[in-house]
Each structure stands twice: as structure tokens, then as C-alpha cells.
A and B are shown apart, each in its own frame.
Chain A
């Protein structure tokens, strides 16, 4: 998809030929794509393809080595993590990531305070917390929650910041099959409530196929394919790059 039509539009994320090196190691090279407001896109690829680093660079945790990233038409490459979060580019983490000793309620209060979310967000959170079975545990320290709930809390914290673009790093990793449905529900709710765009890095092909009308395949740091899941996943080069992992997923 070309960036021409949507250049500079409010809420559009434009990634232009960005690269990231760690010393001599090239993690990814000349990656470009555009994420329109409210759009949902999946990023897949074998382990080591550079997916998490891509999220780290877009969210500002790491600076790009080359290329430009624009949001709302403004160049945001290399801006600090917190600045991008304040602009509405908010990420989740692959591992569970909460304020461990703080209660669930306190975790949420911090997310709202730090992001400057309006207090009315508490009303929206109410339904989401019930849906994910977090509501009865509001006064429990977050590290006492089971793994799956901690993972969901990580997503809800990102939601509580009122994001405009959500960057989800393997939201379903480590979840049971039953719990993975909740990731679908979360993405739907986030888009419905905030109208935000969502970029999902994920290994769970079923989830990607269910949710994403468009996917991007990263392999060895470059874009191998881009398009609708059905046609992209049928391509021989994608199958070759992905073989082991696709089979592993089916068996799991």
C-alpha cells in the first residue's frame, strides 16, 4: 500500500524505509508501511525476523538507525518513549508487564494518571474488566494474578491510556486457547471505544486470520509479503520462510 493518498492525514502512521542495527547486526532493513486511522494490521514472521524490534522502534523505546516514522504528518522517529505514548502511540509487551506489588486498581489509576486519560475512562473500563474477569480482583496485587490475567491486565493498561494507535506485541503468547478469544474481544473493544488503529505482532495464525484484513510478513529483517491473509499465507515463499512455526502452531 502506498503512502501517497494518506500522507499527513491525522492519525495516520507512516513508516518509511526504516532500518535498525545493533552494532554490526542488522535487525531489519528498509521496512515501509502505512497504518490508516482505525486500521487493523497483523505482522507475522519467524522468530528473529525483527518483529519485536519493529514495535520497539515505532513506540520510541529504541531510535531507528535510518528512515523516518511520521504520525499525524509529524516526524516522530527517535522521540522519547513517553512523548510517543502521550501522542497516543501505545504498546503492550510480550511478557507480562505490570506494577507487580500494586493492586489492579492502582495499576489502572497509574495508567490513567500518567497518560492524562480523562477520568471518564473509568466508565469504559468497567465493562472491559467484567468481561475479562478482572473486576472481582481489583484489590489484588497484580503479581498474584494468574499469568493469563496478568497478560490481559497489560492490555487493559494500554487501553486505559486512550490510545490512538495500539502496538500489541504477541498479545496471545502464553495464553490458553480459551483465553485467546479475549484478545479478539479486547481488540474489538479498543477499536470501538477509542477508534484506534491496531498493529498486532503475533504467532497465532488463527488469531491473525480472524482479526486482520491485512498482514505483513517479515523475514530476516525485510518485508517478504503484504496483503490479505488468505492470499499472503498461500504464497510459496511465505510458506517456506514460515514452515516450522506454522506446523508448530497447528500442533500446539
Chain B
């Protein structure tokens, strides 16, 4: 297998997000702008869930880390007048990552359902913190009137530039996700599949889990910044504990097995909810139903199922001629390393 085909899903995910930079130039419908902006935020947040699922960890803490990133950017903009979008994007990654480091060291000893439960509580606790610190976060009113960000000194004030920034943030998040999940592919796969065996072979499992958790928190923070920048407001309702279900739904329904999954899942589901926006309150029920369908009938999600169908189709077409060579020598891998 060549290096390139091994990372085809990562490359495809980055390429799709890259192509979406064209959207602001082919339409100027406000509806399309707001939908695609929400999609960009959703994709970024779904990458956070994706990284955690690579280690077989389910997290409900995405909105908590989104809030840390979003509020950090809003406070920097409103209170310190910092509006450079590169700086704010980096800040929105670093702030939640710093918060996640000690939390991860503490919480990643927990397994399975206990970890899931604690991540849900984290989001609840953070909501409470926001409400209880009005001087810093604006409390229940939130922080309103976020100034327009800039890139190379140019102001990004209109809808088009705000959308371009959201896509840029999603693009950066995709590259971070691809680098981390690609570089730590063996470690993550081993932790996902058989943690005990990995430990017995010498892998320091908790260290890689902490790395994954910290990066996932950073990605969520970037999504938070993107959302705050779109709404020009950092408000507690944007980071509700219930919204964590959406990000999990995007990833699982799209397909947790490859990086294309969260991109496809977030795009389709956000687009669908926008189309049916008059019934937006039903979207979480719809997501719940779809998750059940995926869990019961199509574990690979949309991307996994399509890929499996495609493999079956191509195998039937060329089954006689394309039999893979079975014999290989161990040396090949030695070179690959």
C-alpha cells in the first residue's frame, strides 16, 4: 500500500474544505453564507469528536472547550483590542488545550461510561462558571459586540470575509487533525482496538490519550472562536451541554472510521437542519434517530458504508484479475519505517 492511498481520506477531507473557499465567490445568498458558516463551525467541532473516537473515547465536552476558545477570543478582542485573526485562532486553540492538559491527566484514568459522564459534567460546570463570572464573561448576557477581526491588517467585516475566515479555521483544523491522527495512527489504532495489549508491548497509553485530549480540546476551541466570530457574540447558549450531541452525531453518522466522516456528516446534517429550519427544534430528535440507524445498521456511518459498497462493487467487477499478492517480505516494512 502506498503512503498516499493510506492517507486518501485525510487528503480528501482537506481538499473538500479547500474547495469550499470558492463558495463565497460563486454565490452571495445570505442563506447560503450562514448555512456554510455553520457547516464550517460544525466540521471544526466534529474533528474534535473524531480525534477522541480514534482512541475509542466518547466526549460530551466539546461545547465546554468551544466556550473556552470562543470566550478567550472574545475577551482578547473586546477587552484587549486584539483582532488579528491568526493570533485569535492560535489563542482559541491554545487556551482550551492548556485547560485540557491537567484535566486530561486527571480524567483519562477513567474508562468507558465514567469518562463519558465526566465530560458531560465538564460542560455543565463550565456553563455555571460562565454564569457566575459576569465581570469576565458577561454572565447570562454574554459578551456582545465582538470587533471585526483582521488579516494582514485588512478588516474582515462583511459576511463574505467572515465566512472565509470560518473556512480558513476549518481548513487549519483539518490539517491539525490529519497531522496528529496520521502521525499517531499506530498509537491511536492500538489504543482503540486493544489497550491492554498495547500496554503490554510498552506503549505509554495515558500519554497518547492526553495528547489526543489536548488536541481535541484545541480543535473545539477553534470551532468556538469561529462561532463567536460569526455571531459577533460570545453567549452561554451557544455552548449548551445539549449541543454536544450534535457534534457526536455529525461524526458518527458521517463515519467515525475516517477523517472524511465528520466532514460529510457535519455538512449533510447542518444543511438538512437549515433546509428544515422552520422545524429546527426537531433536529436533535432527528440526529438521535439517525445515530440509532447507524449503530444498528451501518456501523461505518455514511462514509464507511459507501466505501464498503464501493469495495464490494469493484471486487465483483475485477475479482479474477486483481487478486492481491499475498506473499511479501518483512523487509518492506523495515524500509517503510
Contacts and interface: CB of A to CB of B under 8 A. Distances in A.
Partners in one complex: yes
Interface string B133-145: 0000000000000
A108 B330 contact: yes
Nearest to A127: B330
A70 interface: no
Interface stretch (B20-28, B303-311, B321-329): B321-329
**Contact-size category for B:** 20 to 34
Contact of B194 (A61, A98, A138): A98
Contact of B334 (A102, A106, A122): A122
A97 B198 CA distance: 10
A90 interface: yes
B208 to A, nearest CB: 10
A217 B328 CA distance: 44
Interface in B194-243: 194, 196-205
Contact of B189 (A80, A82, A99): A99
A61 B200 contact: yes
Q: Which of A101, A135, A138 neighbours the largest number of chain B CB atoms within 10 Å of its CB?
A: A138
Contacts, number: 97
Interface stretch (A14-22, A113-121, A194-202, A228-236): A113-121
Contact of A119 (B197, B326, B329, B337): B337
Contact of A90 (B189, B198, B200, B328): B200
Interface in B169-208: 186-187, 189-190, 193-194, 196-205
A99 B328 contact: no
Contacts of A119: 334, 337
Nearest to A125: B330
A114 B326 contact: no
Contacts of A114: 186-187, 190, 198, 201-203
Contacts of A138: 327-330
A140 B329 contact: no
Contact of A139 (B187, B193, B201, B324): B324
Nearest to B332: A105
Contact of A100 (B194, B201, B331, B333): B194
B199 A97 contact: no
Contact of A140 (B199, B202, B326, B330): B326
**Contact-size category for A:** 35 or more
A61 B331 CA distance: 33
Given A99-B197, A110-B201, A126 B186 contact: no
B197 A113 contact: no
Interface in A84-110: 85-86, 90-91, 93, 97-102, 105-106, 108-110
A137 B326 contact: yes
A142 to B, nearest CB: 10
A102 B330 contact: no
Contact of B202 (A85, A99, A129, A139): A85
B202 A108 contact: no
Contacts of B193: 99-102
Contacts of A139: 324, 326, 328
A46 B193 CA distance: 32
A109 B337 contact: yes
Contacts of B327: 135-136, 138
Nearest to B203: A114
A97 B205 CA distance: 17
Contacts of A190: none
B204 A82 contact: yes
Contacts of B198: 110, 114
A49 interface: no
A221 B194 CA distance: 29
Given A115-B201, A119-B337, A129 B330 contact: yes
5 contacts: A59-B200, A82-B205, A97-B194, A110-B190, A139-B326
List the 5 closest pairs (A to B, CB-CB), nearest first. A114-B203, A115-B202, A85-B202, A122-B334, A81-B199
Interface of A: 59, 61, 80-82, 85-86, 90-91, 93, 97-102, 105-106, 108-111, 113-116, 119, 122-123, 125-126, 129, 135-140, 157-158, 161
Interface of B: 186-187, 189-190, 193-194, 196-205, 324, 326-331, 333-334, 337
